[in-house]
A and B are shown apart, each in its own frame.
Chain A
Amino acid sequence: MPTATITGVAVTLNDEGFFEDPNQWNEDMAVELARREGIDPLTDQHWKVIHFMRDQYFEKGTGPTVRVLGKTSGVTIKELYQLFPKGPAKMAAKVAGIPKPRGCI
């Protein structure tokens, strides 16, 4: 399993760069992860989505899909794409330090 160093801390990521263990994550890492994805700075709306993703993960065992985010996070899908242009569910999951949303098979 690949490891990476984020803000000086070693964390375990999967092959696609998603956290294996969300408990290794902290907010400073989110700022750094977002910068790597081209998002700088993280606005209040970004944080709202990041915290929502993490809450959903710990409640349901997987991060939400974009559609569910749009229905339940209080942020519209259009705005989600403005916040996380490369695909809100995947990109926000990466920044929020949770595994890739299982989504749909």
Chain B
Amino acid sequence: MTFDPVGRPRWCRSIALVNERILILGGGTGGTLAANRLRKALPHRTSITVVDENDRHVYQPGLLFVPFGLAAPDEIVRPRALQLHHGIDYHQSAVDHVDLDADRVHLADGATLDYDVLVVATGCRLVPEETEGLVGPGWMRDVFTFYDLEGATALHRALTEFTGGRLVVNVVDLPIKCPVAPLEFCFLADWYFHERGMRDDVDIVYVTPLDGAFTKPTASRALAGMLEERHIELVAEFNTGEVVCDETGGGRLVGYDGTEVPFDLAVVIPMHSGATYVGRSPGLGDDLDFVTADEHTLQAAAKANVFALGDAASLPISKAGSVTHFEGEVLVENIIRFLRDEPLDASYDGHANCFIETGFHKAMLIDFNYDQEPVGGHFPTRVGVPLLEESRLNHLGKLMFQWFYWHALLPGRDIPGITSAMPTAGKHVEPTTPSPT
């Protein structure tokens, strides 16, 4: 007798006796779009269940705008369950752990859920406590983050009350969600203080552990130039070891090499880790609780019937909504193939696409993948929006994206012209020199 990938005799499947169970941990961008796409693709005898610990789905790109009063907190939050199509079960509970051997998830509310296919899509969590002194007396007084709703809201108040001085924006360590967002924050701060007529009273300093403004060389040079034009100081290769706050207000970042960066107001992007239950699930995650997965198929290294999606996965590409979106198409295809016992030949190429808000109603678009760094040109073809160049059109694109997010991306609709595979037609790509053989 032969068996299917989840260990049941193959004849069960052929006469449709099997009701497969897909369990998705996380009801954010990845979990929601995967559930909705799978629901459309699979017969209703296949159950799909989404688990999340709360019912607040935050449109995370909106967090950037909250500190500047450009978005209200309640405008970027919707109930998670309402984003799921009919025929998808929603279970609200934290996850205690995954038992990979038993194909079973134990939830914090005491329930257990068995699965045939598990999708880990629980994103990242912020771990400010891993940096000495960060969650000290100055936290939410002189030191903020905009990477969660509470922080972004508190920072809005702090910016409103800021009367001038040194504003330091610090990325502690990578990986972080949306690596361009801290730069966008600097550009918007430049615009914000200009609008308030106090730009000359504020020194904006961008402090990063990278050796430049960004990870990829061409975009890094372009972004460094944009920082310089706006008189934003770039402090590179700074490895924050400690945040020290003074009792009288303000404080300083202290690097592991002893160098210091003083601030009056600090906006810190704390270190990120995967969800805590990943660490409690033997064999599932790496040392930072991210799930190791094949960078093309998204199948987890831990077990064949486990897949990882979005920020929860440990892949060599930015943690970003666009990445999750493009991965989602591949993931759904591969889950269907897995259930049919077919080879997983859908392949994710590392495609990422980010609008970078640059202030003064302009934005810049970058589009890249595992092999192709962001370059100039147009997207998605020779006729399209400009790449690596500021324009008002890109700013409109960024603003319109929120509508697409709720009404096209999450419901699992295809967006015309936007495909999982990175387009090359409009890009200014240098011809590669053939390597000698």
Contacts A68-B288, A77-B241, A81-B239 given: A104-B256 contact, CB under 8 Å?
Answer: no
Q: Is there a chain A Cβ closer than 8 Å to B237's Cβ?
A: yes
Contact: B241 with A78, CB < 8 Å?
yes
Is A105 touching B239 in the complex (CB atoms < 8 A)?
Answer: no
Report the bound CA distance from A65 to B237 in whole Å.
Answer: 14
Residues of A within 8 A of B287 (CB): 64, 68, 71-72
Q: Which residues of A contact B173 (CB under 8 A)?
A: 65-67
B257 on interface, CB distance cutoff 8 Å: yes
Bound together, the chains give a CA A44 to CA B311 distance in angstroms of 38
Establish whether residues A105 and B241, one from each chain, have CB atoms under 8 Å apart when the complex forms. no
For residue B258, which residue of chain A has the nearest CB? A81
Return the contact of B316 from the options A85, A87, A105 (Cβ within 8 A): A105
Q: Tell me whether B257 and A85 are in contact (CB under 8 A).
A: yes
**Contact between B257 and A67 (Cβ–Cβ < 8 Å)?**
no
Q: Does B174 contact A (CB under 8 A)?
A: yes
Q: Is the CB of A87 within 8 A of B239?
A: yes
Contact A81 B316, CB 8 Å, known A67-B271, A72-B287, A104-B175:
no
Q: Does B215 contact A (CB under 8 A)?
A: yes
The residues in B between 125 and 174 inclusive whose CB is less than 8 angstroms from any CB of A are: 173-174
Report the minimum CB–CB distance from B74 to chain A (whole Å): 33
- Residue of A64, A66, A68, A102 touching B239 (CB-CB under 8 A): A66
Most-contacted residue by chain A among B175, B287, B288 (CB, 10 A):
B287
Q: Residues of B within 8 Å of A, CB-based: how many?
A: 17
Across the interface, A105 reaches (CB within 8 A) one of B215, B237, B256, namely: B215
**Measured between alpha carbons, how far is A67 from B317 in the docked complex, in Å?**
18
Interface 0/1 of B222-240, CB less than 8 Å to A = 0000000000000001010
Q: Mark A65-105, 1 if CB is under 8 A from B, else 0.
A: 11110011000011001000101000000000000001111
Q: Is the CB of B317 within 8 A of A77?
A: no
Contact pattern, B 311-355, Cβ under 8 Å of A = 1, otherwise 0: 000001110000000000000000000000000000000000000
> Is there contact, CB below 8 Å, between A104 and B174?
yes
Residues on B with beta carbons closer than 8 Å to the beta carbon of A67: 173, 271, 288
State how many angstroms separate the Cβ of A56 from the closest Cβ of chain B. Answer: 10
A64: chain B residues within 8 A (beta carbon): 287
| A 29-80 contacts with B by CB, 8 A | 64-68, 71-72, 77-78
A55 to chain B, nearest CB (A): 13
Residues 358-414 of B at the A interface (beta carbon under 8 Å): none
- In the complex, the answer to whether A78 meets B256 with C-beta atoms within 8 Å is yes
In the complex, which of the residues B179, B237, B241, B286 contacts A87, with contact meaning CB atoms closer than 8 Å? B237
Measured CB to CB, the nearest residue on chain B to A64 is: B287
Kindly supply a per-residue 1/0 record for chain B positions 241-284, scoring 1 wherever the CB is within 8 Å of any chain A CB and 0 otherwise.
Answer: 10000000000000011000000000000010000000000000
Min CB distance A64 to B, Å, is: 8
Which B residues lie within 8 Å of A85 (CB)?
Answer: 257
In the assembled complex, 30 residue pairs joining A and B whose CB atoms fall closer than 8 Å, in A order, are A64-B287, A65-B173, A65-B174, A66-B173, A66-B239, A67-B173, A67-B271, A67-B288, A68-B286, A68-B287, A68-B288, A71-B287, A71-B288, A77-B256, A78-B241, A81-B239, A81-B241, A81-B256, A81-B257, A85-B257, A87-B239, A102-B316, A103-B174, A104-B174, A104-B175, A104-B215, A105-B174, A105-B215, A105-B316, A105-B317
Name A's B-contacting residues (CB within 8 A). 64-68, 71-72, 77-78, 81, 85, 87, 102-105
B positions within 8 Å CB-CB of A:
173-175, 179, 215, 237, 239, 241, 256-257, 271, 286-288, 316-318
Beyond A65-B174, A81-B256, A87-B237, 13 additional pairs, beta carbon < 8 A: A67-B173, A67-B271, A68-B287, A78-B241, A78-B256, A81-B257, A85-B257, A87-B239, A105-B179, A105-B215, A105-B316, A105-B317, A105-B318
Complex A-B, nearest 4 residue pairs according to Cβ-Cβ distance, in ascending order: A104-B174, A81-B256, A104-B175, A68-B287
